[in-house]
C-alpha cells in the first residue's frame, strides 16, 4: 500500500500551503475576531480555481481526486478553518450537480460555479431537523410548471452568496418511507419569498456566514428539480455527504496539525524552572500523544479518500475518518491549550481559536453519535469487514 502523495498532489499541497502562509495567516486572527468577511481571500481562491475543485474539466473545473480535496482542506484549515467552509459546502453542491444534474443544469451552472463567478451551498438542516433529514418540514407543491416551496432552513453556510442554493424538500409529504417523497430543488435566491433572516452567532467557525433563511411560497421552475425526477433527493444528498465527511475529516486534520505545531513550537521556546518546558516529561507525553493521533487521523482520512477515488462505496470509511479525526482535533486543541498554560486562554495566541473551531467538526456533517450508529450498521452489514 502506497501512503505517499503523488507528485501532482505534493505540488498542490505546496501551492496551497504558500497561499495560506501569504494570504490567510497574516489576517486570520484580526478578521476572525472582528467577524469580517474575507472577500479578498475568496477572490484569490477563485483565481486559483479552488471553486472548481470537484467540477468536471469539461465545465472548466479541476476534477480533483478526493485525496487532493483532502489535502486542500487540510492545508487551508491549518491557517483558518473558517475559510475552508466557504469552498466546503460549495464543492459539495458542485459535486452533486455534476453527478446528478440534467445536461441543461450542468451547462447552466457548473462553468460559473467553477470560476467562482457564482457560489453555492446546500440547504438541508432545519430548526426541527438536523441529522434526521427525513424529518424535514419544508415542502414543495407542484403548481403547473413550477413548485411552490414553503419552509425554513438553518445553519446554512454561504446562504447570502449561494446562486443557486440546492434545497432539500418534500415533494410528496405522504410518501412512506419518507425518503421516497424527497427531492432537491436548485433555488434562485432572487426569487420572491426567499429571504435570509439573519447570520447566526457562533462560538467559532467565523469567516463564512452561517444563516437562517425562510422560503415563503417561493416559486421554483420544475426544470430546477435536480436530475429531473422526483423522489431521489435524499439519495443525492447522502451521496454528497459521503464526500463531505472526507472534507470535514480533512479540516479536522488541519486543525489538529496546527494545534500540534503551535504546542511543539511553544514548548521549545517557553522556559520554566530554568529549562525549556519541552524537557519536562509531562509535556513530552502530551506532544507524543498528539503526534500519534494526528498521523493516525491523517492516514484514516487519506484512506477514506482513496476508497472514494477507487469508485468504491465509502460511507463506512468516510464515517470512520470524520468521527476519529474530529475528536482528535478537539483533543489536540485542548492539549495545545494546556501546553501553553495561561497563554492558551488568550486571544493573542492561535490555540484559543483552534479550541473554538474544533467542536464544529464533531457536530457538522452528521453528529459523531449519529455517525457511530451508521458505522455500526455498516460493520454489521459487512460482517465486520473493513478495507
Q: What is the CATH number of the domain that holds 89?
A: 1.10.540.10
201, 231, 261 - which closes a domain:
231
Same domain, 265 and 353: yes
CB 163 within 8 A of CB 97: no
Does residue 1 lie within any of the structural domains? no
Look at residue 312 in the predicted model and tell me its pLDDT.
87
Secondary structure percentages of the chain, helix, strand, coil, to 5: 60, 15, 25
pLDDT number for residue 161: 94
* Domain match, 102 and 184 both: no
3-class SS of residue 299:
helix
- How many domains is the chain partitioned into structurally? 3
CB 200 within 8 A of CB 157: no
Where in the sequence is the domain holding 13, given as residue range(s)? 7-115
169, 81 contact by CB (below 8 A):
no
Question: Are residues 190 and 310 part of one domain?
Answer: no
Same domain, 253 and 361: yes
pLDDT in tens, 185-242: 999 999 999 999 999 999 999 988 999 999 999 999 999 999 999 999 999 999 999 9
Do 375 and 246 lie in one domain? The reply is: yes
All cell numbers assigned to 56: 468536471
Return the axis-axis angle of helices 66-79 and 281-309, rounded to nearest 10°.
150
Contact 231, 175 (CB under 8 A): yes
- In a shared domain, residues 139 and 95: no
Spell out the long-range contacts of 292-296 with Cβ–Cβ below 8 A and sequence spacing 24 or more. Answer: 293/256, 293/328, 293/331, 293/332, 294/253, 294/256, 294/257, 294/260, 294/328, 294/332, 296/324, 296/328
Inside any domain, residue 2: no
* Rg of the chain over all Cα atoms, to the nearest angstrom: 21
CATH code of the domain containing 361: 1.20.140.10
Is residue 127 included in any domain, yes or no? no
What nine digits make up the cell of 325? 479525526
pLDDT in tens, 13-28: 999 999 999 999 999 9
| Same domain, residue pair 283 and 347 | yes
Last residue of a domain, one of 65, 88, 115: 115
Q: Residue 149, Cα to own-chain centre: how many angstroms?
A: 26
Same domain for 46 and 97, yes or no, is: yes
Residue 103: its pLDDT value, please? Answer: 98
Catalytic residue among 74, 75, 331, 365: 365
Pick the closest to residue 183 from 135, 231, 130, 141 (CA basis).
Answer: 231
Q: pTM of the full predicted structure?
A: 0.95
270 shares its domain with 344: yes
Determine, yes or no, domain membership for 29: yes
The CATH number of the domain holding residue 221 is 2.40.110.10
The segments of the chain whose pLDDT lies below 50 read: none
Greatest pairwise CA separation for the chain in angstroms: 80
Q: Is residue 375 part of a domain?
A: yes
pLDDT of 387? 64
365 catalytic, yes or no? yes
- Give the whole-angstrom CA distance, residue 152 versus residue 138: 6
Residue 122 falls within a domain, yes or no?
no
Specify whether the backbone of 292 is left (phi greater than 0), alpha (psi in -120 to 50) or beta: alpha
In a shared domain, residues 73 and 141: no
Domain boundary pick from 231, 264, 284: 231
- Whether 121 maps to a domain, the answer reads no
In a domain, 209, yes or no: yes
Q: Which residue has the cell 473545473?
A: 61
Q: Do both 266 and 349 map to the same domain?
A: yes
Whether residues 145 and 42 share a domain: the answer is: no
Give the count of beta carbons closer than 10 Å to the beta carbon of residue 138. Answer: 21
pLDDT of residue 130: 84
Amino acid at each position: 500500500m502506497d501512503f505517499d502523495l503523488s507528485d501532482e498532489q505534493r505540488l498542490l499541497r505546496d501551492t496551497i500551503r504558500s497561499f495560506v502562509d501569504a494570504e490567510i495567516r497574516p489576517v486570520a486572527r484580526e478578521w476572525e475576531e472582528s467577524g469580517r468577511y474575507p472577500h479578498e481571500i475568496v477572490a484569490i481562491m477563485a483565481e486559483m480555481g479552488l471553486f472548481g475543485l470537484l467540477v468536471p474539466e469539461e465545465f472548466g473545473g479541476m476534477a480533483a481526486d478526493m485525496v487532493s480535496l483532502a489535502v486542500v482542506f487540510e492545508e487551508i484549515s491549518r491557517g483558518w478553518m473558517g475559510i475552508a467552509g466557504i469552498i466546503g459546502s460549495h464543492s459539495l453542491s458542485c459535486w452533486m450537480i455534476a453527478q446528478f444534474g440534467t445536461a441543461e443544469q450542468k451547462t447552466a451552472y457548473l462553468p460559473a460555479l467553477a470560476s467562482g463567478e457564482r457560489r453555492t451551498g446546500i440547504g438541508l438542516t432545519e430548526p426541527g431537523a438536523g441529522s434526521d433529514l427525513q424529518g424535514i418540514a419544508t415542502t414543495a407543491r407542484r403548481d403547473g410548471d413550477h413548485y411552490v416551496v414553503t419552509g425554513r432552513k438553518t445553519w446554512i453556510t454561504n446562504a447570502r452568496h449561494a446562486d443557486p442554493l440546492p434545497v432539500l424538500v418534500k415533494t410528496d409529504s405522504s410518501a412512506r418511507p419518507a425518503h421516497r417523497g424527497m427531492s432537491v430543488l436548485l433555488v434562485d435566491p432572487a426569487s420572491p419569498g426567499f429571504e435570509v433572516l439573519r447570520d447566526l452567532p457562533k462560538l467559532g467557525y467565523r469567516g463564512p456566514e452561517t444563516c437562517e433563511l425562510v422560503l415563503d411560497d417561493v416559486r421554483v421552475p420544475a426544470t430546477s428539480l435536480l436530475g429531473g425526477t422526483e423522489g431521489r433527493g435524499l439519495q443525492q444528498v447522502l451521496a454528497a455527504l459521503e464526500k463531505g465527511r472526507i472534507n470535514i475529516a480533512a479540516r479536522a486534520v488541519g486543525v489538529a496539525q496546527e494545534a500540534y505545531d503551535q504546542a511543539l513550537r511553544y514548548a521549545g521556546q517557553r522556559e520554566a524552572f530554568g529549562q525549556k518546558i519541552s524537557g519536562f516529561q509531562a509535556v513530552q507525553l502530551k506532544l507524543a500523544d498528539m503526534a500519534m493521533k494526528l498521523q493516525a487521523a491523517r492516514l484514516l482520512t487519506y484512506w477514506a479518500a482513496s476508497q472514494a477515488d477507487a469508485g468504491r462505496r465509502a460511507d463506512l470509511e468516510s464515517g470512520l475518518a470524520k468521527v476519529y479525526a474530529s475528536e482528535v482535533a478537539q483533543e489536540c486543541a485542548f492539549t495545545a491549550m494546556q501546553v501553553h498554560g495561561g497563554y492558551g486562554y488568550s486571544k493573542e495566541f492561535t490555540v484559543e481559536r483552534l479550541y473554538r473551531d474544533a467542536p464544529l467538526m464533531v457536530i457538522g456533517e452528521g453528529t459523531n453519535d449519529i455517525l457511530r450508529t451508521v458505522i455500526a450498521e455498516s460493520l454489521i452489514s459487512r460482517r465486520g469487514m473493513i478495507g
